[in-house]
Amino acid sequence: MNPDTFALACPAGFWSRLGWSLWPARCLACAEPGLPGCDLCATCWTHWPRTGRSCLGCAMPLPVDVAGETEVAVARVRDGGSDADRGAALDAGPDIALDANLDTDLEADRWHPADSAPRAADMPRDRCGACRNRASPLHEVRAAAFYRAPLDRLLPRFKFHRDLAAGRLLASTMAAAFAPRAASLLANGAAATPRQSAAQASERPNAPGAPGAPGATGATGEPGRRTATTAARDIPTLVPIPLHRGRLRERGYDQALELARPLSRRLGLALCATGLHRLRATPAQSRLDAARRRRNLRDAFAWTGAAAPPMHAILIDDVMTTGATLHAAALALRRAGAQRVDAWVCARAL
């Protein structure tokens, strides 16, 4: 993405344009003049730690082919690596497990055996070696960027220091990164809905509400409303990772919700911010290792909404480190009836 692509993700309404013209943007990372309509300068956007070809199971970099040679992308984005480290990464091949701390003990979370993920032989090559050999409640995981400079200066300000302007900027970068995927999901959903409705009508001719069936009421009756509700549940829906109410009172806002709201508006995706709840006030994850994070979050989330969860939920969070939080939330959604759970995060820690 170039600066022009990034600018397209920023608000383009009349009042927004007027505001940017009266108060020219300043880069939130270095205080230099910003790009038109953006709180980021051209230099910082050029050095923004974008993700390239990444694993859809853990969002870590995958090997890429350059001029016929295998090159591991993680060796390119990590700073300070020695030549020996880079050589070892290149020699590791496509099945390298790129994150030793990633949450892999899903059996401890009582993952339902019917939902186990396909193993290496059936898994496409968009997964790293570790993800091809373990089950996961997440269908796919995508990150807008890696947790490197200059993003690593902005995200703590947003999360811990109430810098909502930084949050608006981070949401813009997420919108720019996820716009193609969102458009694809919406297009696939729009194409699949008529086919599913026709198939259901032909397979269940005597079902209530079907043409010619007893009790059929047509498009305006109660069965029609149930069909519309089911169709609405099939739409990809953003579900922000919730804070516990005690943490929310302390912080004053939920950083995942502050990212999800502008994403929903800009990408045209539904937002559900009330159904998923954090039941326990857990210690801060940043101070725990991977095993303790799993134990810390076991049964920490539950779906408590009056309606069933969306069939296709997309979890939104600020940072993914080991994946324990996203896995725990995804398990809660799957147990409540969600058929597919994805995760989109602002940054992936390396």
Model confidence pLDDT, tens digit, residues 106-140: 333 334 434 444 444 445 678 998 898 888 999 99
Tokens of 132: 């091809």
Q: In terms of domains, do 271 and 170 share one?
A: yes
Question: One-letter amino acid identity for 264?
Answer: S
Q: In terms of domains, do 12 and 151 share one?
A: no
Average pLDDT over residues 325-330: 94
Helix or strand or coil: residue 332? helix
Q: In terms of domains, do 169 and 231 share one?
A: yes
Q: Residue 299: which H helix or E strand, with range? A: none
Q: In terms of domains, do 93 and 177 share one?
A: no
Residue 2's pLDDT band (boundaries 50, 70, 90)?
low
Number of domains in the chain: 3
How remote is the C-alpha of 109 from its chain's centroid?
A: 21
Domain of residue 75, residue span: 63-97
* Phi, psi dihedral angles at 329 (to 5 degrees): -70, -40
Q: In Å, how far are 246, 297, 313, 321 from 282, measured between CA atoms?
A: 10, 7, 23, 16
Q: State yes or no: cis peptide before 150, omega within 30 of 0.
A: yes
Task: Give the global pTM.
Answer: 0.73
Residue at 214 is within a domain: no
Residue at 202 is within a domain: no
pLDDT of 191 = 66
Q: In terms of domains, do 109 and 256 share one?
A: yes
pLDDT of 56 = 95
Share in percent of the chain as helix, strand, coil (round to 5): 45, 15, 40
Average pLDDT over residues 265-284: 88
pLDDT of 102 = 45
pLDDT of 15 = 67
Q: Could you tell me where the DSSP H helices lie in the chain?
A: 3-8, 14-22, 42-46, 73-77, 83-91, 151-160, 164-203, 222-234, 245-251, 255-267, 290-297, 324-336
pLDDT of 35 = 83
Q: For residue 71, is pLDDT > 60?
A: no
Q: In terms of domains, do 276 and 293 share one?
A: yes
Q: For residue 223, is pLDDT > 50?
A: no
* Lowest-pLDDT choice from 24-33, 122-131, 227-236, 287-296: 227-236
Tell which wins on pLDDT, 16 or 194.
16
Instruction: Quick: pLDDT tens for 148-161.
Output: 999 999 999 999 99
